[in-house]
Amino acid sequence: MELQRVKNVASRIAFPLIDVTDGITYFTGTAWGALTNAALTAYYSDAGADWTVFNPVLTGTPTEIGTLGEWKLLLSADELNHDQILIKLKADEILEQTILINTTANVSHWNGTAVATPHVAGVPRVNERGLYSGTSGGGTASTILLENGNAPEVDDVINGCMVAIMAGTGAGQSRIITDYDYNGDVSPSTFTASVEPNWTTNPGVDSVYVILPCSRKYLLAAYDAAKTAARAGDAMTLAANAVDTTSIKDGAITADKLGADCITNAKIADAAIAVENIKDAAITAAKLAGDCITNAKIADDAIAAENLATGAITSDALAASAVDEIWDEIQDGTITARVIMKIINALIAGDPTVTDNGDGTATVVWTDEGGSPLFTWTVAATGSRITT
């Protein structure tokens, strides 16, 4: 980043530190001295000469402003007594940050009579590469009143920007604007910026301020809010092949993240799910909830002979009692394939032996050629089978 300061005048600079874990989030919560391998190196240049390292190093230490991830550093008048100053900040927890400070004045506009002392209300203003600059109308512990003509006339447009007091009461302080309120319904109009954290010294009517561009933290928050709003509806459309198995992490799609009826027959194209698209062991018993496949969920003719590959159903794929249960559906009662085979053998062998049990039932026994029973039925007087 590049800043403008007045030569040979002590001043604080403000800057963000970026967390190395994602390269986006502002780094907060750890003092500079507690960072791993923290190093601050500074260089200066005058009249276009090559860079010279500060020796000794800068006297100030980077300090976080509140808990917002914005940091500040105090530079002495001697340290700013050069045309350009280059500062590099490094630590294992942050991305390397480079700050260039120019001290050659760049007057952006006049407001009053030019005098020798800069940064005073009513005299030339030095361009701090900011969005707005002006003289405050005062403020409270958490606000600053901006100047009519040097502040926006739309609510909230500078939320997330930094306001720095360059001269006058409270000079050297910088804060994040958390809310901006423009009131044009009163006379004169008011331009109030709320800040965090509170001022150490409240702004006065002689405080010269500059509004610096929005911090990345607030822009990211707005971006995240927009993404959330988009995902709440049907605003997201994906191109063909935009999502594949390599772009979806394990656990990224779970039952609790899918809305009711988000996957239906109508939303699945014909042949969208084919054998070649399903990996081995992709569907296992452990991944299927109880009753996830029921008669009611299978359409008529959903399973037809032409839909079953050769060898799809083998003896290894059937439980020991599977065939018996099929026979039981064919013949009401508890008849099994084994019993059917016994009946066939018995009929081939000859007539059965019938014994009256004296209780209204009779026992029918079929034997083989050697006289050994093949199977036995107990029947009622009506001829209906009771047991086998």
Residue at 73 is within a domain: yes
The whole domain housing 364 covers: 322-387
Distance CA 263, CA 292 (A): 14
Residue at 88 is within a domain: yes
Per-residue pLDDT of the chain (388 residues; tens, 9 = 90+): 778 888 888 888 988 898 888 877 889 999 999 999 999 999 999 988 889 999 888 999 999 988 878 899 999 999 999 999 999 999 999 988 888 898 875 444 444 444 444 445 544 444 444 578 889 999 999 999 999 888 888 888 888 888 889 888 999 888 888 899 998 887 788 899 999 889 999 999 999 998 887 655 555 665 566 566 655 555 456 666 666 767 677 777 777 777 777 777 777 777 777 777 777 777 887 777 777 777 777 777 777 777 777 777 776 766 666 666 665 554 555 555 556 665 665 555 556 777 877 777 778 777 777 777 777 777 776 656 566 5
Alpha helix stretches (DSSP H) within 166-265: 216-232
Cis before residue 203, ω within 30 degrees of 0? no
**Residue 79 belongs to a domain with what CATH number?**
2.60.40
Residue at 181 is within a domain: no
Can you give the pLDDT at residue 85?
93
Supply angle C-alpha 103, 201, 165, rounded to 5.
25
Distance CA 364, CA 388 (A): 10
Residue at 195 is within a domain: no
Residue at 353 is within a domain: yes
Half-sphere exposure of 265 (CA within 13 A, CB side): 4
CA dihedral 73, 75, 80, 84 (to 10 degrees): -20
- Both tokens of 20, joined, read 């190395």
Residue at 208 is within a domain: no
Among 102, 133, 157, identify where a domain stops.
102
Q: What domain count does the chain have?
A: 2
Residue at 350 is within a domain: yes
Residue with tokens 């019938």: 354
Q: Among residues 27, 4, 5, which one has the least CA distance to residue 16?
A: 27
Burial class, 125, CB count within 10 angstroms (exposed 0-12 / middle 13-18 / buried 19+): buried
Among 70, 102, 134, identify where a domain stops.
102
Among 102, 131, 147, identify where a domain stops.
102
Residue at 49 is within a domain: yes
Q: Contact 75/8 with Cβ under 8 angstroms?
A: no
Q: Among residues 265, 253, 254, 260, which one has the least CA distance to residue 297?
A: 265
- Both tokens of 170, joined, read 């409270």
Can you give the pLDDT at residue 184?
83
